[in-house]
Amino acid sequence: MLYSLRRFSENEIALQRMKMIKFYDQYGEKAVKEAFEADRKVINRWKQRLTKSRGKLSSLIPLSTRPHAVRISQVDPQIIAFIKDQREAHSRIGKDKIKPDLDIYCRKLGIPTVSASTIGNIIKRNRFFFQKAGRIYHNPASKWAQNQTKKKRLRIRHSPKPLDYGHILSDTVEKITDGIRDYFISAIDAKMKFAMTLQYQHLTAANMKDFYCRFKEAYPGIILKWQTDNGSENLGVFDQQLEKDRIPHLFIYPRCPKINTFIERYNRTVQEEFIDEHLDLIHNKELFSQKLADWNIYYNINRRHHSLGLISPLRYFVEKGGMSHKYLTYTRR
């Protein structure tokens, strides 16, 4: 009975049919015809379903409309054999390239040819895939295609307004100087405004994982959520690391940078206050990284923020009871 009720409650059409049956029993055929445009024959057919199923409400769910006798392709067997021979000889040749040669073959035999889409259907239906190595991209029945189960992404609709610490937003700034590309990966706490930026030569999931591990070591609180855009660097080993640490990975919707408002504003700050001011040192990686580390310390300990009442992020965290005053002068070894 519970199974029947669950199935019944998920189907709006079945609910509407039950409503019409009750309406018919209470007000009669004329009223139900005016209200729902359903006559006595239709109502009785639904009642018969309920009777045969011994009152199972799920019996009112619409049945499949698939015909009992489906149409069978009437393609000439010689055409199928020709396509098979072409695919065996050239395993990666597609339907559009087979089509011109098939037309010539059909004219010689005096039989009607078929369209390119029909050729594609013949390949899939008969599984004319003779590829010996690599992925088979166009065969939905292949083992590779069936194993491609996409992980459902947790989406966030609006810019976060967290009541507690631990909601982290991350993003990347790309800077090209003298033809050399540098990437600055940054992350910020939406409430505390604690932030960190590191320089990388390549934008990869491995570097994103490395940044996350370094941020986690420096962050004074507990990371509860991590929010990113949909870039490939935010997947792979980085996403797996978040899953391993049981931290929900939130993705913004495509082309919606306003959802990442805190990190986007921080990106402007780090560009204007540090990167643009130290472009003369950017190719000296050791010195530039040292200066960047000093700026990260300044940003979190000394730089005042309007959003925090003109105090620094760590001072705000201390005053709100998040940690001891000694943490401000503590350095990990």
- Candidates 96, 79, 89, 88; CA nearest to 129 is 88
Q: Is the pLDDT of residue 136 over 80?
A: no
In whole numbers, what is the pLDDT of the chain averaged over residues? 87
- pLDDT tens-digit profile of 13-66? 888 888 888 888 888 888 888 888 888 888 888 888 888 888 887 788 877 888
Mean pLDDT of 123-143: 72
The average pLDDT across 305-328 equals 79
Pick the range with the lowest mean pLDDT from 3-7, 186-190, 210-214, 302-306: 3-7
Q: Is pLDDT above 70 for 325?
A: no
